[in-house]
A and B are shown apart, each in its own frame.
Chain A
Amino acid sequence: MILFFLISGLFLGWSLGANDASNIFGSAVGSRMITFRRAAIIASIAVILGAVIQGAGTSATLGKLGSVNAIGGSFTLSLAAAITVYGMTKFSLPVSTTQAIVGAIIGWNIFNGNTTDSGTLSKIVITWISGPVLGALFAVLLYILITKFKKSAKIHLITFESYLKSGLIIVGAFGAYSLGANNIANVMGVFLPAFNLQELNLGLFSLSSNQQLFLLGGIAISVGIITYSKRVMDTIGGNIVELTSEAALVVVLAQSLVLFIFSSTALANLMIRIGLPPIPLVPVSSSQVIVGCVIGIGLYRGARNINFRLLGEIGVGWIATPLVSGVITFFSLFFMKNIFNIEVGHKIIEGVPESSVMTGVSGPEMSEIMKYILLGILIAGSVIGLYYYLLERKKTRELKISEEKFWKNLK
């Protein structure tokens, strides 16, 4: 039953992985610089690491917006966001998981009579705008650096491309890590207040209750990457302007930096320590940041064929997505509570601790399930890894034999 309630979050994670992995490895895979298989493996591992290690910051911000205090509420809210994302994607409307989940939380707040923290909301909304702008700035700066380096270093084109290839793998891993860290809040953030699991000790390290949920969410994102992102990866790249290999690297790096900045607790603390205003830890839409990056480079290069309509569509998405998601959440909560008789949350009372009103999940049985899930993943990962290694080895050997035959016959 507990896992059933998590399904909506996991589905949201799956769709996030399917769509957003293309922002990281899309250009590299689309231009055949990296094989999809390699990209998917790297992205899957990095996304899980990012979610588990650095996912807490952005989740806390979403928690401030609305602390969903019943698992039925978390389920409904997440499902409504997922339906919004799916529906809007189906009708080719611009959509972001981040904006959908924010709209859903506001819908939950309205349903339960809670006031939405306007300070947190404005902080989130500002990052929707500043994210793409910052992405564009980073992209232009990095692009200038890389083109200057290429011109002055006089490296052979093939060597440069090999550096780019390695760079795309490293930056892609960093991008996936940042995506996991920043966007896990969208997937699992709403479930955190309703879950209180036992700490899971794995010998070398232990996972807190939140980290266990992040791990599940990260796995869902990984499954999305492996099962469905190839289609999106094959088509991305030429949507806004055509990207060269170095521009692709710059775009991914700039986007990863933006996602990392908006999710790093350490960086936010450092800013406070040196007397600067703290960076808000907010989930941002990776797709919108990447559009900002690509447009930044396009403007710098003086391209006239930039699809400015996309900018307008993003603006529409900022308003339409939370609105649609909020409305769907409100009505879904109504049906859940009154027809299915499922507890979807309480009004948060000032001064009363959250734990006293929470109808959530706790206990050691869930941690046991988590242990088995982890073991299963480890075994499945090892088997798949070995299978692909053997497949790759067979392919290389066959290619070598065919090459040798070719030259022998030619002689």
Chain B
Amino acid sequence: MAVFKRTTKELIISISEFFDSIEIGLLVFREGIKSYIEKDMESFMRHLEKVDTLENNADRLQRSIENEMITNSILPQHRSDVTKLLNEIDEIIDTVKKSLNEFIVEIPEIPSSLNKEILSLVNTSASAAEELIPAARAYFITPHTVREKLLKVYYFETETDKISFNMRKRIFQEMNEIDLAHKAHLRYIIHHIENISDLAQKAADLLSRMAIKIIT
């Protein structure tokens, strides 16, 4: 029984650390894009490295949590749901890392007139994912509060969609000074940033179903 208690504690800590990695990853993502916009490449590279470490850590923790749950027969009834949730959340930090890598590989040229909007898009999209984490933490302690916490995720996802739509509309209809290839490239970058909030929404849908299941 003592061995079991130790495993339980370790598992709770691992889950908490996993969520911490995602939260910090999102903060670093914001700062990273900000550095890119401000053309501070040294700072950007530092942030990219940090995200890389966090993503690796999240991957390691995810695997270890899954292993522990299976080998010690923990949460047998909710195990597959929890595993799916961790997978969905892990995809968020994967996308964050991918987005930052795209910036360093493709070096997109962002017109200064779009700086404010890009930062706003990054903030809103990251906020959607950030709001998911307290809800995911609440699933384990106060599952009846999960759904109200998820409302913010849906709000920020809708806001992200609006900002992205307006940006794309502005790029393709108003910014005649840049060529079509540049426009397409910008659309691609916007799509990737927007993708973070879409993934957060997907995880929120799953979490919402899980919460209903556990309360009833």
Contact of A154 among B1, B4, B67, B142 (CB under 8 A): B142
User: Smallest CB–CB gap between B210 and chain A, Å?
Assistant: 10
User: Smallest CB–CB gap between A335 and chain B, Å?
Assistant: 51
User: Smallest CB–CB gap between A400 and chain B, Å?
Assistant: 10
Given A166-B1, A399-B71, CB of A158 within 8 Å of CB of B77: no
Q: Mark A376-411, 1 if CB is under 8 A from B, else 0.
A: 000000000000000000000001000100000010
CA distance A33 to B77 in the complex (A): 9
Given A154-B141, A156-B141, A166-B1, CB of A161 within 8 Å of CB of B71: no
Q: Is the CB of A244 within 8 A of B77?
A: yes
Nearest opposing residue in chain B for A245, CB measure: B77
Known: A31-B77, A159-B8. 13 other contacts (CB 8 A): A32-B76, A35-B73, A155-B141, A157-B78, A158-B15, A158-B75, A158-B140, A161-B75, A162-B5, A166-B1, A166-B4, A244-B77, A245-B77
CA distance A245 to B67 in the complex (A): 21
Contact of A156 among B5, B12, B73 (CB under 8 A): B12
Contact of A162 among B4, B60, B214 (CB under 8 A): B4
Q: Is the CB of B8 within 8 A of A162?
A: yes
Contact of A33 among B63, B73, B141 (CB under 8 A): B73
Nearest opposing residue in chain A for B9, CB measure: A159
Shortest beta-carbon contacts, A-B, top 9: A32-B76, A157-B140, A162-B8, A31-B76, A156-B140, A32-B73, A154-B141, A156-B12, A158-B8
Nearest opposing residue in chain B for A303, CB measure: B216
Given A31-B77, A33-B76, A165-B4, CB of A158 within 8 Å of CB of B11: yes
Q: Mark A159-187, 1 if CB is under 8 A from B, else 0.
A: 10110011000000000000000000000
Chain B residues within 8 Å of A, Cβ to Cβ: 1, 4-5, 8, 11-12, 15, 60, 63, 67, 71, 73-78, 139-144, 214, 216
Query: Can you offer 13 A-B residue contacts whose CB atoms are under 8 A?
Result: A33-B76, A156-B12, A157-B75, A157-B139, A157-B143, A158-B12, A162-B5, A162-B74, A165-B4, A166-B4, A245-B77, A410-B60, A410-B63
User: Smallest CB–CB gap between B190 and chain A, Å?
Assistant: 35
Nearest opposing residue in chain B for A165, CB measure: B4
Chain A residues closer than 8 Å to B141, beta-carbon distance: 154-157
Chain B residues closer than 8 Å to A399, beta-carbon distance: 71
Nearest opposing residue in chain A for B69, CB measure: A158
CA distance A245 to B144 in the complex (A): 18
Residue of A159, A162, A301, A403 with highest tally of chain B CB at under 10 A: A162
CA distance A119 to B133 in the complex (A): 65
User: Smallest CB–CB gap between B213 and chain A, Å?
Assistant: 9
Residue of B76, B140, B216 with highest tally of chain A CB at under 10 A: B76
Chain A residues closer than 8 Å to B15, beta-carbon distance: 158
CA distance A35 to B73 in the complex (A): 9
Chain B residues closer than 8 Å to A166, beta-carbon distance: 1, 4
Chain B residues closer than 8 Å to A157, beta-carbon distance: 75, 78, 139-141, 143, 214
CA distance A372 to B74 in the complex (A): 42
User: Smallest CB–CB gap between B55 and chain A, Å?
Assistant: 14
Q: Is the CB of B142 within 8 A of A161?
A: no
Residue of A158, A159, A161, A166 with highest tally of chain B CB at under 10 A: A158
Q: Mark A137-168, 1 if CB is under 8 A from B, else 0.
A: 00000000000000100111111011001100
Chain B residues closer than 8 Å to A151, beta-carbon distance: 144
Nearest opposing residue in chain B for A161, CB measure: B75
Nearest opposing residue in chain A for B4, CB measure: A162
CA distance A157 to B81 in the complex (A): 13
User: Smallest CB–CB gap between A158 and chain B, Å?
Assistant: 6
CA distance A165 to B4 in the complex (A): 10
CA distance A245 to B76 in the complex (A): 9
CA distance A151 to B142 in the complex (A): 7
CA distance A156 to B75 in the complex (A): 12
Q: Is the CB of A403 within 8 A of B67?
A: yes
Contact of B12 among A31, A33, A159, A165 (CB under 8 A): A159
